[in-house]
Amino acid sequence: MTDRADQRAMTTECACDAEDDEMTMAGALHVELNHLWSDMWWAMQQRRNTDWSIQCENLARRIQLLSRLVGPLPWTHITVSLLRDGTYARVYQGVEYPPIDWDRVAQTEARIEAQRASYR
């Protein structure tokens, strides 16, 4: 499985109620919100000669709509690049979300880089 597929599988698994393995409505919305952020990462990779595409704008609107129902997805669930480039803050502008722990982000980046170096 790809990293993206692994992320989706893990998110779906986490949203299931441990007692009866049925997904709740809130759980399903969190899964969809996580998928939208994954799609946002992809859209940011695909944009050409612009900092924000129409696809990014549409995804941002969908993320904002779902976030009104279940709250913003915690920054710990967001790809580091979307934190660093300000996309997370841009999408949630005007919405209260937990402050980003930049030291923890830097630690995550260092861990990712160490893993990449070990594969070389």
d(CA 5, CA 61): 23
CB–CB of 24/17 below 8 Å? yes
3-state SS assignment for residue 16: strand
pLDDT score recorded for residue 51: 85
pLDDT score recorded for residue 21: 57
- Grade residue 45 by pLDDT with cuts at 50, 70 and 90: very high
The pLDDT tens digits for 59-81 are: 999 999 999 999 999 999 999 99
- Grade residue 110 by pLDDT with cuts at 50, 70 and 90: very high
Residue 9: CB atoms within 10 Å: 11
Retrieve residue 25's tokens. 């409505």
For 21: left if phi > 0, alpha if psi spans -120 to 50, otherwise beta; the answer is: left
For 96: left if phi > 0, alpha if psi spans -120 to 50, otherwise beta; the answer is: beta
pLDDT above 70 coverage of the chain, percent: 82
Residue 16's beta-bridge partner residues?
Answer: 23
d(CA 93, CA 60): 11
